[in-house]
Amino acid sequence: MSAEDLSKVLQQADPDRRLAALFAPAELRARLFALYAFNHEIARIADATSESLIGEMKLTWWRDAVADLYAETPKLRRHNVTEALAPLTQLLPQAELLDLVDVRFDDIMAAPHADLDALLDYVDRTSGRLIRLSLILTEGEMPEAQIRDAGRAWGLTGLMRAFAWRARIGRAPVAGDYLTELGGTPAMLAQGLGPDKAKAAIQPVRAIAEDAARGFRAAGPLPVEAVPAAGYVVLTPAYLQRLPNNPFEVAPERSLLARQARLSWLSLTGR
């Protein structure tokens, strides 16, 4: 699959990361598209099947496919994304890609987040790790604290935007222990726990996301090499502002033109 084909897939599947990647030179852009397409494939498995066993089989296939790429005698499984990912094995650590797959097993098993630490570990291993890998591909650098804040701001905000779906699969972005204190359970969330309790349960998560977004910005201008890898994080405050009072409602989208303009300004100023 060509970079142009991957771009078309990501235009629907991961539009904001794609928009930021467009600021990279063509070769680096193709690398980012391959990584994001891989992330999309493994992230959507929980949504694509209601049978945990089938989801586990699909994730195991992807785990084995990654391991095959790094074997002493590499083996390339026939798939558009594995073909795009194969040239990146000299750049990306195998363990990092494998853990991107491993963390998704809890999604298909509908295992709730036990507490805030567990939820933060999830976003650090998904959203945060993706930023780290993207920086490797673009040869960009960011302070470790800024990477952490970027991953948490973007990851937590994305989970809150998808609250209704995450609740349906038993993985709502809330701390399980705090939900219990409020008199709720993951099963109750899946069945439509009242919006007031859902809003209360999500408040600590929103506070962390907002604090992380402020930390990301306070770290200073984003280096030009890091814009394609992490620039989309500047869109977080606008998404946070649009979160509905009822977490089960769908947040309104920000216009494509507004997002393009914000990223263009970032590319010129670093802010």
- pLDDT tens, the chain, 271 aa long: 788 999 999 999 999 999 999 999 999 999 999 999 999 999 999 888 878 899 999 999 999 999 999 999 999 998 999 999 999 999 999 999 999 999 999 999 888 999 999 999 999 999 999 999 999 999 999 999 999 999 999 999 999 999 999 998 889 999 999 999 998 888 888 776 788 889 999 999 999 999 999 999 999 999 999 999 999 999 999 999 999 999 999 999 899 999 999 999 999 999 9
Helix (H, G, I), strand (E, B) or coil at 73: coil
Q: What is the pLDDT of residue 192?
A: 64
Cβ neighbours, 10 Å, residue 76: 12
220: left (phi over 0), alpha (psi -120 to 50) or beta: left
Element (H, E) at 54: helix 52-69
In the chain, CATH 1.10.600.10 sits at: 110-271
- Which CATH topology does 110-271 take? Farnesyl Diphosphate Synthase (1.10.600)
Q: Is 124 exposed, middle or buried (0-12, 13-18, 19+ CB in 10 A)?
A: middle
pLDDT at 193: 73
- What count of Cα atoms within 13 Å lies in the side-chain half-sphere of residue 68? 15
Q: What's residue 13's pLDDT?
A: 96
Alpha-carbon torsion angle 131, 167, 258, 122, nearest 10: -10
Q: Tell me how far CA of residue 117 lies from CA of 109, 127, 173, 198, 202, in angstroms.
A: 19, 15, 12, 19, 14
Q: Which DSSP string corresponds to 150-201?
A: HHHHHHHHHHHHTHHHHHHTT--SS-HHHHHHTT--HHHHHTT--HHHHHHH
DSSP code of residue 115? S
Task: Give the model's pLDDT for residue 32.
Answer: 98
CB atoms within 10 A of CB 207: 11
- Two structure tokens written together for 29: 């852009």
